[in-house]
Amino acid sequence: MIEVHHLTKRYGRVTAVDDVSFRVERGEILGFLGPNGAGKTTTMRILTGYMPATDGRATVAGYDIFDKPIDAKKRIGYLPETPPLYPDMTVREYLDFVARLKGVPSKEKKERVTSVMARTHVADMADRHCGKLSKGYRQRVGLAQAIIHNPEVLILDEPTAGLDPKQIIETRELIRGLGGDHTIVLSTHILPEVAQTCQRVVIINKGRVVAVDTPDNLTARLKGAETMYVQVDSGGADAAPVLSALPGVVRVAPSEQRGTLAGYEVESERGRDVRRELARSIVNRGWGLLELRPMRMSLEEVFLQVTTEEIPEETPTDPGAQGSMDPRTEGEVPVA
């Protein structure tokens, strides 16, 4: 639905977007994640036809945004970083105006404005002037104008910026509800947002794409070997030697001890799932198996890792290169 090929944007000597490529499938919600100044807004402005690129190309809903900008723009709803509201219009007048501008047929307009106001929870402000709205309401009216013509593609630049926690949850639900029918790209630097809303994530840093994957794979991928957390009630016995002796287990590190309960981090050979063996050996000894789960890096750790050092996009099969991606051999990730 959206294809971006080698997009580059230079402002004088600053390269804001540097050879960025990605695609978004129909109905998908893609998170565009990156620190301040990464190039998120610039990429979105180019995709929505608000700004030319220096190089590269992009298609939206089958239309090249540079060759067929009008056809492409008709199919896009855009929430810019600062919603483009007219201060002297009421919310209803403004949405009515945008609906007309975006070609909503006049007999459908009234109903469309009403339903969009309900969906974005702005109906109680329908007769308030846009200039007198709070930031959160401005943001929601911005979202309302983006979806008023029911576009196939939504490009949302930090849709939850400035919202209170309740509004954030409502907006995330709204966006999730729009996915499926709509193809959505949203930018954010809020990590729970991508984990909760997006099916796939593009992480961008200094204008370059540094990772593309599902939130789940991102957190799993950067882990070196597989590590499980196991909690056992062994009645006081040391379970470490038993777990270490299992085939495929590379290392066992005790992590906590409370009375007869003990937690262990069990590292296994890469790609080898030792959960069955772990469970069987614990239960066969008559011990209690209280917890058994894979340990993963948090999305936050992944984000810091990929934005503070560049990693290859594909996981290399060369064990040497793998080692350099292992957070445990890299030491602390510097936080700027």
Ligand X SMILES: Nc1ncnc2c1ncn2[C@@H]1O[C@H](COP(=O)(O)OP(=O)(O)OP(=O)(O)O)[C@@H](O)[C@H]1O
Least separation in angstroms between CB 98 and ligand X: 23
The residue range among 34-42, 50-58, 133-141, 175-183 that interacts with Mg ion, by the rule CB under 5 A, is 34-42
CB nearer to ligand X: give 31 or 266: 31
CA 72 to centroid of chain Cα atoms = 24
Nearest approach, Cβ of residue 157 and Mg ion (Å): 6
Only one of the segments 30-38, 256-264, 266-274, 281-289 lies at the binding site for ligand X (rule: CB under 6 A); that segment is 30-38
Q: How far is the CB of 313 from ligand X (least distance, A)?
A: 19
Choose, by CB under 6 A, the member of 109, 129, 189, 275 that binds ligand X.
189
Least distance from Mg ion to the Cβ atom of residue 34, Å: 9
Minimum separation from the CB atom of position 216 to ligand X (A): 24
Angle at CA 309, nearest 5°, toward 307 and 313? 80
Provide CB contacts within 8 A for 186, sequence distance 6+. Answer: 29, 30, 31, 32, 154, 155, 156, 157, 158, 159, 175, 193, 197, 198
Q: Which candidate, 95, 61, 57, places its Cα nearest to that of 75? A: 61
Which part of the chain contacts ligand X (CB under 6 A), choosing from 37-45, 85-93, 259-267, 315-323? Answer: 37-45
Segment 8-27, which members bind ligand X (CB under 6 A)? 11, 14, 16
Residue 41 interacts with Mg ion (CB under 5 A)?
yes
Q: In terms of CB distance, is 209 or 242 closer to ligand X?
A: 209
Angle at the Cα of 42 from the Cα atoms of 41 and 47, rounded to 5 degrees: 95
C-beta closer to ligand X: residue 16 or 266: 16
Q: How many CB atoms lie within 10 A of CB 325?
A: 19
Distance CA(84)–CA(169), nearest Å, equals 23
Q: DSSP letter string over 61-121?
A: TTEETTTSHHHHHHTEEEE-SS----TTSBHHHHHHHHHHHTT--HHHHHHHHHHHHHHTT
- From 39-47, 104-112, 254-262, 318-326, span contacting Mg ion (CB under 5 A): 39-47
Tokens 């209170």 belong to which residue?
164
Render 34-67 in DSSP notation, one character per residue. --TTSSHHHHHHHHTTSS--SEEEEEETTEETTT
Compute the least distance from the CB of residue 19 to ligand X, in Å. Answer: 14
Q: Using CB under 6 A, count the residues that bind ligand X.
A: 12
Binding span for Mg ion by CB under 5 A among 38-46, 230-238, 271-279, 297-305: 38-46
Q: Encoding tokens for residue 66?
A: 């540079």
d(CA 54, CA 32): 20
If contact means CB under 5 to 8 A according to the sort of partner, which of ligand X, Mg ion, none does residue 119 touch? none
Site track for ligand X across 147-186, x = CB under 6 A: ----------------------------------------
Q: Which residue stretch of 31-39, 97-105, 112-120, 253-261 sits at the interface with ligand X (rule: CB under 6 A)?
A: 31-39
Residues that bind ligand X (CB under 6 A): 11, 14, 16, 34, 36-42, 189
Residues that bind Mg ion (CB under 5 A): 40-41
